[in-house]
Amino acid sequence: MLMLSGSVAPAADIEHFHPKGKPPSKHTIEIIEKARATMAFSDTRDFEEQKKGFIAAPESMKIMADAGHVAWDIERYQFLAMGKDFDSIHPSLQRQAILNLNFGLYEVLKDKIYQVRGFDLANITFVRGTTGWIVFDPTTAAETARAALELVDKHLGKRPVVAVVYSHSHADHFGGVRGIVDETDVRAGKVQIIAPRDFMDHAVSENVYAGNAMNRRMFYQYGVLLPASPFGHVDQALAKNVAAGNLGLIAPTRIVEKPIEELTIDGVKMIFQNTPNTEAPSEMNTYIPEWRALWMAENVTAGIHNIYKLRGALIRDALAWSKYINRALYLYGREAEVMFASHHWPRWGNDRIQEVLRGQRDAYAHLNNQVLHLANQGVTINQIHNEYEVPESLQKQWFARGYHGSPENNSRGVINRFLGYFDGNPVNIIPLSPKDSAPLYVEMMGGAETILAKGKELHDQGKYRLAQEILNKLVQAEPDNRPAKDLLADVFEQLGYQQENTGLRNVFLAGAFELRSGIPTGAIPKTTGPDMVRAMSTELFLDFIGIRMDSKKAEGLEFSINLVTPDNDEKFAIELSNATFTNLEGFQVANPDLTITINRADLLQVMMGVKTLAAQIDDGTAKIEGNRDVLGQLAATLVDFELGFEILPGTKSQAQAMAEEKGPFKQDLRQIDP
Ligand SMILES: [Zn+2]
């Protein structure tokens, strides 16, 4: 089913997308060839499972966005389907990248369960109810979810969507809901939406406080602007990439509150297992006992997931994750005959299901236990990634390979969760900033020319991790040193080619790209949208104002505001003191400088950037009492975050256009300005 497109050049002719790009060195090829010779390539069960049940693919490998651009394009990854082994891609990663070319409609369980795969980062799953479809996880974008439903309609006959299950609080699992469901049908009770405990809080909050920093770091972990190429972006571990379309959210109508709950949905009995603080803070598995079908959400996929996400996120709990997999194994996994998930492909047969569940259970528990075992003997966060090793038996299992979360970044994550960033060495507790310490290193090492010569020597010897140490010092000290940046880029590039893990590969290759060409510009996948702002609590909105405040500008200011939103019966005590903006729900200040009374429905207009607070005051929608000037004072302290900040020194100059771009919440929140 891997269709080759006539428009793609033969693999041998694929050139590096960057004029300064280099092919893999002989040292890199040595590492790649060793992996090719020693890894368990004879185990091809994933390929059988990935192909099984294929029904049809759509005619086009592209899905257009309503806005006119391409929302999804799997065609650009077809170089992977040419039967060539690329020396610029770790063979294990290339294997996963080929598996992730699955594209189209698949049968999971005859007449009962179907999946559309390869339309977005996540799968969309269709479970046959008595009268219609129960959809699990409607992808990231309305456009890709709609296209998936059209494919289902075409091959399985038209049936209504009668229920949607959100498996967890990540946007690639709910963002496309509006492509398959009309909200008026949800309100009318025709469509049920089911979600795990605390779903809405986490769906909305995870990307707000540090949202701009996370979006910038997506350039690195996800390589969102790296060209698809054997020398660039090849895969995202869970699938090819994230679709760039309309992200929406319709609130659930039924929350699964208890640890285990049984519901019959459109005639299908389902048992929901809440698994909080695993892959997501709010997540649940589902078992359909009559069909012996086990849905493992994103808790068990074909690879090891992130404990620490390089984009940035709270550190996850590997031990809790392992325990919930174990519970699922003992509750359902010992009798299940098919196991399917929101990424990758299903597993059939109880032996295989138990093998995968046990292996994944052990992988997360081993990570937690062995890392802490080493930490308790003094191995620090700055050493653990060089010490921690996955057990050999798991190394041979493809589902236990670190495609999304590497053993390196996950082991550091575990230490970070329990002990934090400090390794105990006093030198690392309040170190100088890199740019302040680097000049002394450069001077002591004999200056730029000596470092460049030694850096080149290390590079030519394939000692890339040593080379990056000294070249980084030089680039930190001399951000405009072009030869230094180019050589460091060459070093990063080879390190990128050598990685099995998509995040590590993308981080090195994105770093190389930015050192060579500056910060790239272009459309990145959305992490928010009007629905997300609508679902944001007033408290979260006020918290984010506190984050947007430039406290230097608030120095010496002091005021208090009471905010009242009668339609949802909320009130807030807001204070600015000590250059700090705080809010407390449910309380009021005794003698406030200003009281604002505005319905939450109207405040939403301000949050969405549709109408300013000033305009609402002027036309009487918002009532104020007291000193209106404090709103002007507040507005003057607020900053709009920009996405184009530097990660590597000397990369900003070519990115001025980007600096003009809006940060993720700029449009939505700036109109607090009266
Ligand atoms: Zn996902």
Q: What is the sign of the dihedral through the CA atoms of 54, 60, 65 and 71?
A: positive
Q: Residue 63 is encoded by which pair of tokens?
A: 């899905």
Cα–Cα distance measured from residue 298 to residue 316, given in angstroms and rounded to the nearest whole number: 14
Q: How far is CA 118 from CA 147, 243, 636, in A?
A: 11, 10, 46
Cα–Cα distance measured from residue 472 to residue 464, given in angstroms and rounded to the nearest whole number: 12
∠ CA 167-145-117, rounded to 5°: 75
| Ligand 1 centroid, distance to 354 Cα (angstroms) | 22
Amino acid identity of residue 15, one-letter, is: E
| Ligand 1 centroid, distance to 218 Cα (angstroms) | 15
| Ligand 1 centroid, distance to 94 Cα (angstroms) | 20
| Ligand 1 centroid, distance to 475 Cα (angstroms) | 36
Q: How far is CA 37 from CA 145, 272, 671, in A?
A: 40, 43, 59
| Ligand 1 centroid, distance to 406 Cα (angstroms) | 17
The predicted pLDDT at position 525 comes to 67
| Ligand 1 centroid, distance to 419 Cα (angstroms) | 28
| Ligand 1 centroid, distance to 122 Cα (angstroms) | 5
Q: Residue 347 is encoded by which pair of tokens?
A: 């597993």
Counting residues of the chain whose pLDDT is more than 90, the rounded percentage is 89
| Ligand 1 centroid, distance to 313 Cα (angstroms) | 14
The predicted pLDDT at position 520 comes to 86
| Ligand 1 centroid, distance to 557 Cα (angstroms) | 44
Mean pLDDT of the region 530-556: 95
| Ligand 1 centroid, distance to 275 Cα (angstroms) | 15
| Ligand 1 centroid, distance to 123 Cα (angstroms) | 9
| Ligand 1 centroid, distance to 121 Cα (angstroms) | 7
The predicted pLDDT at position 523 comes to 65
Cα–Cα distance measured from residue 111 to residue 405, given in angstroms and rounded to the nearest whole number: 35
pLDDT digits 0-9 by tens, 239-292: 998 888 999 999 999 999 999 999 999 999 999 999 999 999 999 999 999 999
Q: Residue 487 is encoded by which pair of tokens?
A: 């050589």
Cα–Cα distance measured from residue 10 to residue 487, given in angstroms and rounded to the nearest whole number: 30
| Ligand 1 centroid, distance to 341 Cα (angstroms) | 10
| Ligand 1 centroid, distance to 625 Cα (angstroms) | 47
| Ligand 1 centroid, distance to 376 Cα (angstroms) | 33
| Ligand 1 centroid, distance to 301 Cα (angstroms) | 10
Residue 169: pLDDT above 70?
Answer: yes
Cα–Cα distance measured from residue 203 to residue 661, given in angstroms and rounded to the nearest whole number: 25
| Ligand 1 centroid, distance to 233 Cα (angstroms) | 18
Residue 526: pLDDT above 80?
Answer: no
| Ligand 1 centroid, distance to 394 Cα (angstroms) | 23
How many Cα atoms sit within 13 Å of 167 on the Cβ side? Answer: 28
Q: Evaluate whether 580 touches 245 at the Cβ level (below 8 Å).
A: no
| Ligand 1 centroid, distance to 488 Cα (angstroms) | 33
Residue 367: pLDDT above 90?
Answer: yes
Cα–Cα distance measured from residue 338 to residue 345, given in angstroms and rounded to the nearest whole number: 11
Q: Give the chain's length.
A: 674
The predicted pLDDT at position 484 comes to 98
| Ligand 1 centroid, distance to 102 Cα (angstroms) | 16
| Ligand 1 centroid, distance to 458 Cα (angstroms) | 39
Residue 671: pLDDT above 50?
Answer: no
Residue 672: pLDDT above 80?
Answer: no
| Ligand 1 centroid, distance to 343 Cα (angstroms) | 7
| Ligand 1 centroid, distance to 660 Cα (angstroms) | 31
| Ligand 1 centroid, distance to 212 Cα (angstroms) | 20
In 286-348, which residue ranges form alpha helices assigned H by DSSP?
318-328
- 472: how many CB neighbours lie within 10 A of its CB? 20
Q: Residue 169 is encoded by which pair of tokens?
A: 């609080």
Where residue 83 falls (left for φ over 0; alpha for ψ -120 to 50; beta otherwise) is left
| Ligand 1 centroid, distance to 172 Cα (angstroms) | 5
| Ligand 1 centroid, distance to 75 Cα (angstroms) | 21
| Ligand 1 centroid, distance to 551 Cα (angstroms) | 36
pLDDT digits 0-9 by tens, 182-211: 999 999 999 999 999 999 999 998 888 999
Residue 13: pLDDT above 80?
Answer: no
Output 256-265 pairs: Cβ under 8 A, ≥24 positions apart: 256/194, 256/195, 256/196, 256/197, 256/284, 257/197, 260/331, 263/194, 265/129, 265/134, 265/162, 265/163, 265/192, 265/194
Ranges 118-127, 612-621, 662-671: which has the least confidence: 662-671
Cα–Cα distance measured from residue 340 to residue 353, given in angstroms and rounded to the nearest whole number: 10
| Ligand 1 centroid, distance to 188 Cα (angstroms) | 29
* Secondary structure of residue 646 in the 3-state scheme: coil
| Ligand 1 centroid, distance to 382 Cα (angstroms) | 29
* Secondary structure of residue 517 in the 3-state scheme: helix
| Ligand 1 centroid, distance to 342 Cα (angstroms) | 7
Q: Which of 315, 338, 342, 294 is nearest to 138 (CA)?
A: 342
| Ligand 1 centroid, distance to 269 Cα (angstroms) | 25
- For residue 104, what are the β-bridge partners? 117
The predicted pLDDT at position 276 comes to 97
DSSP assigned state of 339: E
Q: Evaluate whether 614 touches 674 at the Cβ level (below 8 Å).
A: yes
Residue 658: pLDDT above 60?
Answer: no
521/195: higher pLDDT: 195
Q: How far is CA 509 from CA 435, 469, 515, in A?
A: 22, 17, 10
Cα–Cα distance measured from residue 81 to residue 101, given in angstroms and rounded to the nearest whole number: 8
Give Cα 31 distance to the centre of its chain.
29
| Ligand 1 centroid, distance to 443 Cα (angstroms) | 47
The predicted pLDDT at position 335 comes to 98
| Ligand 1 centroid, distance to 28 Cα (angstroms) | 31
| Ligand 1 centroid, distance to 232 Cα (angstroms) | 22
Ranges 115-124, 618-627, 638-647: which has the least confidence: 638-647
The predicted pLDDT at position 653 comes to 57
Q: Evaluate whether 190 touches 254 at the Cβ level (below 8 Å).
A: no
Residue 550: pLDDT above 80?
Answer: yes
Residues 6+ apart with CB under 8 A from 131: 159, 160, 162, 266, 267
Query: 220-244 in b/e burial notation, b at 16+ Cβ within 10 A?
Result: bbbbbbbebbbbbbbbbbbbbbbbb
Q: Evaluate whether 308 touches 320 at the Cβ level (below 8 Å).
A: no
| Ligand 1 centroid, distance to 638 Cα (angstroms) | 34
Q: Evaluate whether 301 touches 341 at the Cβ level (below 8 Å).
A: yes
Mean pLDDT of the region 444-471: 98
The predicted pLDDT at position 657 comes to 44
DSSP assigned state of 4: P
| Ligand 1 centroid, distance to 418 Cα (angstroms) | 25
- For residue 560, what are the β-bridge partners? 575
| Ligand 1 centroid, distance to 432 Cα (angstroms) | 38
Whole-prediction pTM:
0.94
Which chain residues have CB less than 5 Å from ligand 1, an ion? 122, 172, 298
| Ligand 1 centroid, distance to 634 Cα (angstroms) | 38
Q: Which of 467, 465, 476 is nearest to 441 (CA)?
A: 476
Mean pLDDT of the region 371-377: 98
pLDDT digits 0-9 by tens, 331-355: 999 999 999 999 999 999 999 999 9
pLDDT digits 0-9 by tens, 73-89: 999 999 999 999 999 99
Give Cα 376 distance to the centre of its chain.
31
DSSP codes joined into one string, 111-157 = TTEEEEESSSSS-EEEEE-SSSEEEE---S-HHHHHHHHHHHHHHH-
Residues 6+ apart with CB under 8 A from 299: 275, 278, 279, 283, 285, 321, 324, 325, 328, 341
| Ligand 1 centroid, distance to 89 Cα (angstroms) | 23
In 252-294, which residue ranges form alpha helices assigned H by DSSP?
none
| Ligand 1 centroid, distance to 674 Cα (angstroms) | 39
- 292: how many CB neighbours lie within 10 A of its CB? 16
Ranges 7-16, 76-85, 409-418, 638-647: which has the least confidence: 7-16
Average pLDDT, the chain: 93
| Ligand 1 centroid, distance to 368 Cα (angstroms) | 22
| Ligand 1 centroid, distance to 62 Cα (angstroms) | 20
DSSP codes joined into one string, 404-469 = SS-HHHHHHHHHHHHH-S--S-GGGTSPPPHHHHHHHHHHHTT-HHHHHHHHHHHHHTT-HHHHHH
Amino acid identity of residue 486, one-letter, is: D
Q: How far is CA 295 from CA 73, 251, 261, 300, 324, in A?
A: 27, 22, 15, 9, 13
Q: Which of 242, 207, 236, 281 is nearest to 404 (CA)?
A: 236
| Ligand 1 centroid, distance to 510 Cα (angstroms) | 22
Mean pLDDT of the region 209-215: 92
CA dihedral 585, 590, 592, 598 (to 10 degrees): 40
Mean pLDDT of the region 492-509: 98
Residue 8: pLDDT above 80?
Answer: no
Type and span of the H or E element at 594: strand 594-597
| Ligand 1 centroid, distance to 292 Cα (angstroms) | 24
Type and span of the H or E element at 164: strand 161-165
The most distant pair of C-alpha atoms in the chain lies apart, rounded to whole Å, by: 77
| Ligand 1 centroid, distance to 623 Cα (angstroms) | 44
